[in-house]
Amino acid sequence: MNTPAPYYHAVGKEVEVFGHAYQNKIPFLLKGPTGTGKSRFIEYMAHQLDRTLVTISCHEETSSTDLIGRFIIKGAETVWIDGPLTRAVKEGSIIYLDEIAEARPDIIVSIHSLTDHRRELFIDKLGETIKAHPDFMLVASFNPGYQRGFKELKPSTRQRFIAMSFNYPEESIETTILEAESNVDPADAKKLVQIGNKIRNLTELGLSETVSTRLLVDAAKLIHSGLPKRLSVKVSVIEPLTDDPDVLQALGDLSDLMI
């Protein structure tokens, strides 16, 4: 492939594990909060393995029809159009179902036969079963933090995947990522990561999601492009986290002290 490899800094054994999962075509589940590099990791692995990556961002309206395909009316005819999952199964791509627990339950049913020894997709509207291309692989992500109640992934579904947890990288790695992604000054990258870690440790604030690497990268980009540092942190790290005026004030004061 001629496109440059996406930048990904490994944080553990994920590259090695994914390589073996791909060799064996075992479905792979990435668990972890938003902005911890899950999508970037899959882009990187698809590039390394020279496979096309098809990403579906799942939401509560995503149904198996969206993935498998539908009939559309074309003039006087009804024509079948393959959905992205069907195309990936036929062509041997890697499909990435981002936030799979968000999607409608019929998606889980439709991937069952793809995630076991059968490796086949049943298209009920056509009454057809397709065998997956040998290169096809299914990858999914989910965020255990905010998936509650019925949005939890059922154990019977989870057990169809091997799984790895993604989290915020340790300080030195996260600093390196910020530098690489934004070209920000190393001292500023370090300070941003320290602010991020400080806020992550403030569990008493009860934030539903805390500072992701993505937010820190955004702050680093703004600083690098010349926006004042404190303002950069305010708009990219603090404001996205909360609307509570007291918490905003407290986090603002904290970060102003640090940068």
40 counts as binding ligand ADP under rule CB under 6 A: yes
59 counts as binding ligand ADP under rule CB under 6 A: no
CB of 32 to ligand ADP, least distance (A): 6
CB of 152 to ligand ADP, least distance (A): 19
Question: Which of 18, 21, 31, 36 is close enough to bind ligand ADP by CB under 6 A?
Answer: 36
Q: Are 238 and 248 in contact (CB under 8 A)?
A: yes
7 counts as binding ligand ADP under rule CB under 6 A: yes
Nearer to ligand ADP, 66 or 99 (CB): 99
Residues 154-193, one symbol each (x = binds ligand ADP by CB under 6 A, - = not), give ---------------x-------x---x------------
Measured distance CA(23)–CA(21) in Å, rounded: 6
- Residue 248 is encoded by which pair of tokens? 């905003």
- Residue 63 is encoded by which pair of tokens? 């149904």
Q: Are 34 and 212 in contact (CB under 8 A)?
A: yes
Nearer to ligand ADP, 114 or 193 (CB): 193
Nearer to ligand ADP, 7 or 71 (CB): 7
Measured distance CA(237)–CA(212) in Å, rounded: 8
End-to-end alpha-carbon separation of the chain, Å? 42
Block residue for tokens 């992701």: 212
Measured distance CA(257)–CA(185) in Å, rounded: 19
Question: Which of 62, 64, 210, 213 is close enough to bind ligand ADP by CB under 6 A?
Answer: 213
Measured distance CA(255)–CA(61) in Å, rounded: 38
196 counts as binding ligand ADP under rule CB under 6 A: no
Amino acid letter at 138? L
Residues of this chain that interact with ligand ADP (CB under 6 A) are 7-9, 11, 34-40, 169, 177, 181, 213-214, 217
